Copies of this chain bind each other. A is one copy, B any other.
Amino acid sequence: MDISQNDRAKIILSSRILSLKKNAIFFNSHDLDGLLFLKSGKLRFFLSHLEARELPLYYLNNMEVEFFEDFSDNSTSTVLDIAFIVEKNSEILLIPYSVLNLFRDKYSVMEKFLHNLTREKFSKSLLSLQNILLIPLKDRLLKFLYSLNKTEISLTHEEIAKNIGSSREVISRNLKVLEKENFLKVNRKKIIILDRSDIL
């Protein structure tokens, strides 16, 4: 059930290499739909919603693959819009959705591969939203700051908010609480993580 040499060539010839600039945002139903292989850089996927805050879903890191699909043909999801923002300058290899579609009926191995990507995306997204709903914001904030693995963090409160699905005001308030509890110090420009090993 292998993919024939002829079809393989067609797929390879259809693929494009694209450079994405930092901070660019791509929405679904865009011409970036398809199988997306990240050669370098970092993409952050989120649920976007008109006039509302962004809900973080997951990251795509170096050498990872993503099946970025348009959901707008699905009747249940007219308000569901998965988007991504380019966190670092990135280079991707894209096999367009339209090309994949030509071969999905023919090769179950390809369909199974795409199915697994959808399934993985599904569980990562649910997990992220579940965390937002169940884990107190202060804990998520601390976990996020620790995950950066730096003692000095120069992200704005706004940027942190986007990453954990909150607002600037709420982040600022919670940073103050964490400062009082001696987890960190907040400067005008930086957040300094304090060494807890001295205290704990």
Is residue A6 within 8 Å, beta carbon to beta carbon, of the partner chain? Answer: no
Q: Say whether, besides A1-B106, A112-B111, A130 and B74 are in contact (CB < 8 Å).
A: no
In A100-126, the 8 Å CB interface with B consists of 104-112, 114-115, 118-126
Copies of this subunit: 2
Question: Which of A47, A69, A123 is the most central at the interface, judged by chain B CB atoms within 10 Å of its CB?
Answer: A123
Cβ of A121: which chain B residues have Cβ within 8 Å of it?
122
| A147 contacts partner chain B, Cβ-Cβ < 8 Å | no
- Which residues in window 79-138 of A have CB below 8 A to B? 79-80, 82, 104-112, 114-115, 118-127, 129-130, 132-134
Residue of B nearest to A107 (CB): B108
- The chain B residue sitting closest to A134, CB to CB, is B52
Residue A71 at the chain B interface, CB threshold 8 Å = yes
Chain B residues with CB below 8 A from A165, complex form? 133
- Given the known A-B contacts A80-B130, A126-B129, A132-B133, are A109 and B105 also in contact in the complex, defined by CB atoms under 8 Å? yes
> Are the C-beta atoms of A77 and B108 separated by less than 8 Å?
no
Interface string of A5-44 (1 = CB under 8 A from B): 0000000000000000000000000000000000000000
A-B contacts besides A1-B105, A53-B134, A80-B126, 20 pairs, CB < 8 Å: A1-B106, A47-B130, A49-B130, A74-B119, A74-B123, A79-B127, A104-B108, A105-B109, A105-B112, A106-B108, A107-B108, A108-B108, A108-B110, A108-B111, A111-B111, A115-B115, A115-B118, A118-B122, A132-B133, A133-B133
Instruction: Give chain A's interface residues, CB within 8 Å of chain B.
Output: 1, 47, 49, 52-53, 55, 69, 71, 74, 76-77, 79-80, 82, 104-112, 114-115, 118-127, 129-130, 132-134, 165
